[in-house]
Amino acid sequence: MLKWSLKNLLAEPVRLLLSAAAVALSLMLVVFFSAVFEGESEQMVVYLEKMDADVWVMQKGVSNMHMATSMLWDWKADKIARLPGVENTAAILYFNGPVKIGGKDWFSYVIGLKPEMRRAGPWAMAEGAAFPGPGEAVIPEVIAKLTGVGLGDAITLVDRDLKVAGLSRETFSMSSALVFVSHEDLGRLLEGRDQYSYVMVYAKPDVPPAALATQIKAEIDKVNALPSAVFIENDRELALQMGSEIIQMMTLIGALLATVIIAFTAYTQVARKRRELAVIKALGFRPDQIYGAALFQSLTVIALALLLTFALSYTVLAALPALVPQINLAVRLRHFVSLVLLAVPMAILAALGAARTVQKVDPVTIFQD
């Protein structure tokens, strides 16, 4: 029976490939939105992760960076640096808001840096200087490509014009961008030249981050200190809450569309063989053999579709950011596990439904058609 099913499938290779391709395209839509969600969620906290601090210190009552405001006096940062258990520190001034680049406002996380805090600056450069001096800025390479703004051109931070000194990589997401400026320029804007927003603390070997965070809160008045893992997770959760609903809705729509196409393809794949299956029934084959043939044909199409989806995801989708640089994609193996859990049960149900319909057909009526 399986031999007959395989022979029937291979008898029409073009139709088989078209059916598998239709299902694969619908599944690709689900992978795409899942990859966008994954890529954006990773990019939103990329700065925090790249800094690789053990503890983050901020104003009391603040527990994240995304859309937050925090101010600490510089003497507190100096005091933190002298605490036992602290190997090193890096401090930044921080502002979130629009930056006008190429005539368009780009919502940005603006990082103000002092010359001695170079480790808090961009970690990957495409062109130009990695550290901005007074009157300068380092902007994402993606924005430069989209706007045509290059080295030496001017951007506007609130009411202050700054010259582009460098183009950074891995610093852009659809929800925000990282722009690096001098502490002096951002301090003037925020009236906080003697202040920082966040202090990154690097612990001495064998000093647990949680214990160091507790020590800092006990020793320094009116600050909050969190281990890096906790701080990053807080930021990720808040960032995703502000944009995840749209992406999740689009993913759900894609999944529903894929479900309909899978069900339709699986059902028609069996229904088209109605006459052949009825003949087989007339020849005395058991119902379980007919159901088995229907399942084999449907699952073969779905398996081929999943293979196509896997191949296209790691070729077409992987190349998409090069063509559309503002999109962050992260294709993960677990996305395909979800596809299998979606596609296989639906294909089975649709195939069994079609086979049940065939099973009820009187073979005599088929011969009379």
Answer yes or no: is pLDDT of 325 > 70.
yes
Q: What six digits make up the tokens of 11?
A: 């008898």
Q: Are 101 and 117 in contact (CB under 8 A)?
A: no
Q: Looking at residue 11, what is its pLDDT?
A: 61
Output the DSSP codes for 101-127: ETTEEEEEEEEEE-GGGGGGS-S-EEE
3-state secondary structure of 52: coil
| Among 7-11, 46-50, 151-155, 165-169, the least confident range | 7-11
CA torsion 250-252-253-254 (nearest 10°) is 90
Residue pLDDT, tens place only, 64-84: 998 889 999 999 999 999 999
- Between CA 187 and CA 262 the distance in angstroms is 57
Q: Looking at residue 369, what is its pLDDT?
A: 52
Q: Looking at residue 216, what is its pLDDT?
A: 96
Who has greater pLDDT, 177 or 42?
177
Q: What percent of the chain has pLDDT over 90?
A: 46
Output the DSSP codes for 243-273: THHHHHHHHHHHHHHHHHHHHHHHHHHHHTT
Owner of token pair 């990019």 = 43
In degrees and rounded to multiples of 5, residue 166 shows phi and psi of -160, 160
Residue ranges of the alpha helices (H) in the chain?
Answer: 2-10, 13-43, 46-51, 74-81, 141-147, 183-190, 209-219, 228-241, 244-271, 274-282, 287-312, 318-323, 333-360, 363-368
Residue pLDDT, tens place only, 149-171: 999 999 999 889 999 999 999 99
Burial 10-40 (b: 16+ CB within 10 A, else e): eeeeeebeebbebbbbbbbbbbbbbbbbbbb
At 347, the pLDDT band (50, 70, 90 cuts) reads: confident
Residue pLDDT, tens place only, 269-314: 666 666 666 666 665 556 666 677 777 777 788 888 888 888 888 8
Query: Across-strand partners of 162?
Result: 155
At 318, the pLDDT band (50, 70, 90 cuts) reads: confident
Q: Are strands 160-168 and 125-128 parallel, antiparallel or unpaired?
A: antiparallel
Residue 267's nearest CA partner among 298, 235, 306 is: 298
Q: Looking at residue 269, what is its pLDDT?
A: 62
Q: What six digits make up the tokens of 276?
A: 């052949």
**pTM recorded for the entire structure:** 0.77
Q: Looking at residue 283, what is its pLDDT?
A: 57
Owner of token pair 């596809």 = 339
Residue 341's nearest CA partner among 10, 27, 118 is: 27
